[in-house]
Amino acid sequence: MESFLDRLLADQRAAAPRSSAPPATTAEDADAGLPPDDAVAVPSGLEAPRIAIYDTLTSPPRVIAVEEEDLPALIASLAEKTYRHCREQGGQVPYSVIQELIENLLHACFRDVVITILDNGQTVRISDHGPGVDDKDRVFLPGFTTATARQREIIRGVGSGLPLARESLQFLRGILTVEDNLGSGTVFTIKMPSSPEAQPAQEPAPDVRLTTRQIKVLVLLMELGSAGPTAIARELGFSAATVYRELVVLQDMGLIHSSGDGKRALREEGLRLLDSIL
Ligand SMILES: Nc1ncnc2c1ncn2[C@@H]1O[C@H](COP(=O)(O)OP(=O)(O)OP(=O)(O)O)[C@@H](O)[C@H]1O
Ligand SMILES: [Mg+2]
């Protein structure tokens, strides 16, 4: 187990910095002909990204600040530490998904980054106080990107990370959602299904009967992570009013919750119920 993990991390470390280019703040920027205004400083001290690990929700988390000399090293180190702590807690969040979301902190200039590990490592929340994400649907489509030339020194910058992350999670029945952070910025949440060991036997799937339409709505939410009534109506070919009514019913049943900006996402109970149906 340990040797496999070390091997995996070594492989990923080798693959992580997608360029050997120097950090964006060096004097060589001028030589590269890139404008200085989108340079990202390497955060340190009180500005360093932090990982908060919750052993239980009744005691304060362990908090680790992560500092490195340059941005590629910071990305690799944050991804590795996050993955390692998740695994230590018994979590199964894929390394590649963690890495994509941590690379994306470049879009937020690594401002006030907090990575939270919860639910025995099955939930990872990555938050920042960057510019935020306006269009929370299109960021999950391949090819939509705001990556600049300077950012492409470090990341691919072709708008591939979020679609890849969501697709690979789908296979594992995990979900990836995006919400506005408090104040400004973004919160991405990766949520894996509870493992059989972590899921107490006394928590069976909720005993409720669903219509085919309600099941379709739940399945769509599982696929998309989160969606609003209009998008759901468009995808399923129902009227927006019908979808809205169904969302209210599903929310009352405790199967979905509001994920901010009018969208709904599956709750753990919804995921378990779908699991028992499908
Ligand atoms: N934490 C964030 N803060 C602000 N914007 C973000 C954040 N994460 C993602 N985005 C936005 O979502 C877009 C799509 O992200 P995605 O990971 O799919 O592609 P990318 O990072 O641009 O390129 P690639 O992943 O191929 O290197 C980004 O270009 C950016 O506009
Ligand atoms: Mg990306």
Cα–ligand 1 centroid distance for 251 (angstroms): 30
What's the rounded Cα separation, in Å, for the pair 184 and 130? 7
Q: How confident is the model at residue 171 (pLDDT cuts 50, 70, 90)?
A: confident
Ligand 1 pocket residues where CB is under 6 Å: 100, 104-105, 107-108, 128, 130-131, 133, 139, 144-147, 155-163, 186
Instruction: Tell me whether residue 101 is in a domain.
Output: yes
**pLDDT value for 269:** 83
**pLDDT of residue 76 exceeding 50:** yes
Q: Are residues 175 and 255 in the same domain?
A: no
- Both tokens assigned to 176: 């990836």
Please, what is the average pLDDT of the chain? Answer: 84
Write down which residue in 162, 191, 220 finishes a domain.
Answer: 191
CATH of the domain at 177: 3.30.565.60
Averaged pLDDT, 40-50: 94
**Residue of the CA atom closest to atom 17 of ligand 1:** 161
**Residue of the CA atom closest to atom 1 of ligand 1:** 105
**Residue of the CA atom closest to atom 12 of ligand 1:** 139
What's the rounded Cα separation, in Å, for the pair 127 and 236? 31
Cα–ligand 1 centroid distance for 139 (angstroms): 7
**pLDDT value for 20:** 36
Q: Are residues 133 and 228 in the same domain?
A: no
Cα–ligand 2 centroid distance for 149 (angstroms): 14
Cα–ligand 2 centroid distance for 177 (angstroms): 15
**Residue of the CA atom closest to atom 8 of ligand 1:** 104
Q: Are residues 32 and 145 in the same domain?
A: yes
Q: In this structure, are residues 139 and 146 in contact, taking their beta carbons and an 8 Å threshold? A: no
Measured CA to CA in angstroms, residue 56 lies from 51, 59, 99 at distances of 15, 6, 25
What's the rounded Cα separation, in Å, for the pair 2 and 205? 34
Instruction: Tell me whether residue 244 is in a domain.
Output: yes
Instruction: Tell me whether residue 226 is in a domain.
Output: yes
Instruction: Tell me whether residue 199 is in a domain.
Output: no
Give the model confidence (pLDDT) of 226-255 as tens digits: 889 999 999 999 999 999 999 999 988 889
Averaged pLDDT, 44-61: 93
Q: Are residues 17 and 126 in the same domain?
A: yes
Q: Are residues 72 and 151 in the same domain?
A: yes
3-12, 62-71, 138-147, 174-183: lowest mean pLDDT where? 3-12
Instruction: Tell me whether residue 200 is in a domain.
Output: no
What single-letter DSSP state applies at residue 46? Answer: G
Instruction: Tell me whether residue 232 is in a domain.
Output: yes
3-class secondary structure, 37: helix
Write down which residue in 191, 220, 238 finishes a domain.
Answer: 191
CB-hemisphere CA count at 13 Å for 84?
18
Q: Are residues 149 and 216 in the same domain?
A: no
Q: Are strands 263-266 and 50-53 parallel, antiparallel or unpaired?
A: unpaired
Q: Are residues 10 and 146 in the same domain?
A: yes
More confident residue, 205 or 53: 53
Longest dimension (CA), the chain: 65
| Those residues with Cβ within 8 angstroms of residue 211's Cβ, 6 or more apart along the chain or in another chain | none
Which of the residue ranges 120-129, 192-201, 251-260 has the most confident prediction, judged by mean pLDDT?
Answer: 120-129
With tokens 């902190």, the residue in question is 105
Instruction: Tell me whether residue 168 is in a domain.
Output: yes
Q: Are residues 158 and 222 in the same domain?
A: no
Q: Are residues 185 and 265 in the same domain?
A: no
**pLDDT of residue 94 exceeding 70:** yes
Q: Which ligand is nearest to the CA of 139?
A: 1
Give the model confidence (pLDDT) of 124-149 as tens digits: 999 999 999 999 999 999 999 999 99
Q: In this structure, are residues 189 and 177 in contact, taking their beta carbons and an 8 Å threshold? A: yes
With tokens 């908060």, the residue in question is 52
Domain span at 114: 2-191
The number of distinct structural domains making up the chain is 2
Instruction: Tell me whether residue 163 is in a domain.
Output: yes
If we measure between CA atoms, which residue out of 140, 72, 123, 132 comes closest to residue 102?
Answer: 72
CA 111 from centre of chain: 16
